[in-house]
Structure formats: C-alpha cells, structure tokens
Structure 1
Amino acid sequence: MSLEKLTSFQELEQLLKDKDKVLFLKNSTTCPVSHEAFRQYEKFADELEESIYYLNVQESRPFSNEIAERFAIKHESPQVLLFNNDNVAWHTSHWNITYKNLKEKF
C-alpha cells in the first residue's frame, strides 16, 4: 500500500513542490460516510506504486482549514482533492469518493 498520512500544511506544500500530481483525502475518523470513503481510497492505494496522501480532520483541523482557505475549496469531509502543478484540478466528496472515480481521475 502506498498511503501516507500528513499532519501539516508544510508537508503538503513540499509535496506540491516535488510532484506534479498529488492525490489527497480529508477524512473524518467518526463519520460512517468517511469510513467508506477511506476504504475506497485504501483499495485504490493498494494498486499504486506511488504514494497518495490523507489527513484525519479531528487530528489536523487547522491543516484542513488551511487547505480550504489556500485553494478556495469549501471544506467537506470526506473530501478528495487532486492537485496538479500546485492547483486543484479535481475534487469531490462524500459518496462520490469511489474506487471507480479515483481510478478515472488519477
């Protein structure tokens, strides 16, 4: 599996400098919809050779808020963001976070 947890905006900023494409999940540890989204995200990660990333909103709320502010994307949880060259190229949330959608977009 190639799934890595981030805990700070600085970590994400560094990834965006180092990589052209970054897939990122904002996840709640207490929500059943988030739990299912995380399962779909893990399933997708299992097939990849490269890493994809996530944060747990309860543990990193300021980080989650900073993402919403910096990229002008309304905060949702669960929420997937696909960054391409330091911009959000695609994002979705809740029941739209499926293995199929992740595979199509990434």
Structure 2
Amino acid sequence: MLSHTVLFRLRRPFDDEQRAEFVAALRTFAAEAPLTAGPMTVTVNLGVRDPANARFADAALSATFTDAETFTSYLKHPRHQVLATEVLEPACASWLSLQAEVS
C-alpha cells in the first residue's frame, strides 16, 4: 500500500471566505477521489500558530493507494488534473507531497 499526503500553503493574504472555498473544493474532490483504496481525508489547520510563519500549512489531504502504479494513474486522472490546475495552482503559494509505503 502507498500513503499519499499533501500539505497546502495558501497564497497570502487570504480571508476566511477564500480559505473556506479552498477547503470546500478539496472536500468535494475527496468525496469522490479516483482510484483510492479507501477514503481520502482533508484536514484543516486550527490556526494555533502564526499564519505568517512560512512553516505553517493551511490544510492537508491524505489518501491510500494499492500500489505506485495506481498512484501514478491517479496523478494523470482528469479529475486530479482539474484539481491541480483550477484549485491548487491559483490558490496555493506552495504544496508538499509525500508518498510512503504503509502496511
């Protein structure tokens, strides 16, 4: 099994409405995420730390895939491509992705 985790940092400045729209778009995608081996989860930072800190992520997305080949197919899937180009690129200053083997 392959675990896929992404941390998102929104472009600064942003307001509560922009953050809510971004999180809603992630949750809509996660509700019908293609090719996953279980539910995709979206978590949102509680804002306990100073958001001006560059080490602060605003949201995260986690999913599990059966193997690396399925994950590669997910990256090429049209729904994932739309998420990247229409949601992530306009809203995010950056994002970090980690793939790890899980048992």
TM-score (norm 2): 0.35
TM-score (norm 1): 0.34
Which is helix-richer, 1 or 2?
1
State which structure, 1 or 2, has the greater radius of gyration over its C-alpha atoms.
2
